[in-house]
Amino acid sequence: MARELPYIAAVQEAIFEEMGRDESVLFYGQDVAPSDDDNFVKAYGRDRVRVSPISETAEIGMAVGLALAGYRPVVELLMAEFMLVAMNQVVNEAPRLRYMSGGQVKVPLVLKAGYGFTAGWAGQHTGSIYGMFMGFPGLKIALPSTPADAKGLMTTAIRDDNPVCYLINYLLVLEHGDVPEGEHAVPFGEATVRRSGSDVTIVATGWTVGRALAAAQTLAGEGIQAEVVDPRTLNPLDTATILSSVEKTGRLVLVDQGTRHGGASAAIAAEVAEHGFGSLKAPIAQVTALDVTVPYSEPMEAFVLPNEEKIAGSVRQVLGEAPVAA
């Protein structure tokens, strides 16, 4: 049975339910239950639910230690940028320890953080910085775009035996959608086709999935059938689904809320250029954020971001239907 929940409630529900199923799951972080009047504290007690100081290096480093000791910590980090002060723990410790031990240890932990809050949060709180995490083998990255996936990917993140950056798109937190009741796990590394079409493949994540679907709707009115693929996890990345879609459509538009240079869309473009070149009828196009820090002022912020018009325009371009600039 499914019922409507906001995205953010679906995330919390997954953590709550997994804590009920597995005593080794811990939940802590800044402003996590400062008052005892809290559902998590009431259900699981202060041994397992704690509020921590603003000490990301310790919070995340401790998660590594807890994981080595057999626990499954979920660390509330509020915003992805706050992980940056603990970058070594995130990218140079957690994902490497298993490999360096020759497979002797495992580090199951979840770094729960918001990203992409392009709602006037200016330069240091709006980043879609998942691209930088892609270069660290051992670190998984989940980017739920719907309430159902928010729950299902969190369940899987907690059960996964590896460190996972579970990234909440803060523009989506109040979006409502059907969420399965009870146990619900969405496997990592399985993209989903949000809309099928035969003319062009649009790959989008997080908030941009909705923008891509809206663009696809507009394009349908022009007789263009766009397929929208949501990878859901960037590591592992389901290149097979993307490649088979491109094989069908012959055209690829990549949408990314993050910056272009060295970003997620560039990584996907490289995979398709290498393995799907034969199916491409037009160059791959990328609709990303501009390579600038996100500005505060609304018109400038909007200018920096991908949007429906930019996506639709890019699709028309790869279909050769837009006038080519002289």
Partner 1 sequence: MQELDNDRLVWMFTQMLRIREFEERVKRTFEEHPGVIRGHTHLADGAEASIVGSLATLQPGDQLMATYRCHGYPVALGTETKAIMAEIYGRKDGLCGGYGGSMHLVDPSRGFMGTSGIVGQGIPQATGLGWAAQLRSRSHSPQVVLAFFGDGASKQGAFHESLNLASLWKLPVVYVMENNNYNVSTRSEQEDANAAAGEPLSVKAAAYSMPGVTVDGGDPVAVYEVVGAAADRARAGEGPTLVESKVYRLSAHGNIIAPPGVPLHYPEHEAITTFGNREEYEAALRGDPVPRFRARLVEQGVLEADRADRITEEVRAEMDAAVQYALDSPFPEAETAARYDYVYA
Ligand X SMILES: Cc1ncc(C[n+]2csc(CCOP(=O)(O)OP(=O)(O)O)c2C)c(N)n1
Q: Which does 273 bind (CB under 5 to 8 A by kind): ligand X, partner 1, none?
A: none
* Rounded-to-integer distance, Cα 85 and Cα 76, Å: 15
The one of partner 1, ligand X, none whose footprint includes residue 57, by CB under 5 to 8 A per kind, is: partner 1
For residue 173, the partner it binds in ligand X, partner 1, none, with Cβ less than 5 to 8 A by kind, is partner 1
User: What amino acid is encoded at 294 in this protein?
Assistant: V
On whether the CB atoms of residues 286 and 257 are closer than 8 A, the answer is no
Q: How far is the CB of 295 from partner 1 (least distance, A)?
A: 5
Please answer whether residues 154 and 166 qualify as being in contact, where contact means their C-beta atoms are separated by less than 8 angstroms.
Answer: yes
**Considering beta carbons, is residue 59 or 227 the nearer one to ligand X?**
59
Using alpha carbons, select from 112, 105, 71, 115 the residue that is nearest to residue 90.
112
**In terms of CB distance, is 240 or 292 closer to partner 1?**
292
Query: Which residues are near partner 1 by CB under 8 A?
Result: 30-31, 34-35, 51-57, 81-82, 84-85, 117, 119-125, 170-174, 290-293, 295-304
When CB distances are held under 5 to 8 angstroms depending on the partner's kind, the choice from partner 1, ligand X, none that residue 299 binds is partner 1
Would you state the structure tokens that stand for residue 40, as one six-digit string?
A: 């998590």
Rounded least distance, CB 133 to ligand X, Å? 17
Nearer to ligand X, 85 or 282 (CB): 85
Residue nearest to ligand X (CB): 82
Of residues 125, 176, 184, 261, which has the active-site annotation?
Answer: 125
CB nearer to partner 1: pick between 9 and 219? 9
125 tagged catalytic: yes
Residue closer to partner 1, measured from CB, 18 or 149: 149
How far is 105 from 84, CA to CA, in rounded Å? 25
For residue 78, the minimal CB distance to ligand X (Å) is: 6
Other CB atoms within 10 A of residue 34 CB: 10
Closest CB to partner 1 among 90 and 219? 90
CB of 20 to partner 1, least distance (A): 25
> Cβ of residue 245: shortest distance to partner 1, in angstroms?
30
Query: At CA 264, angle to CA 213 and CA 231, rounded to 5?
Result: 45
CB of 228 to partner 1, least distance (A): 22
Chosen from ligand X, partner 1, none, partner binding at 240 (C-beta under 5 to 8 Å by type): none
* Interacting residues with ligand X (CB under 6 A): 30, 54, 56, 78, 82, 85
Residue 52 binds which entry of ligand X, partner 1, none, CB below 5-8 Å type-dependent: partner 1
Catalytic residues: 125
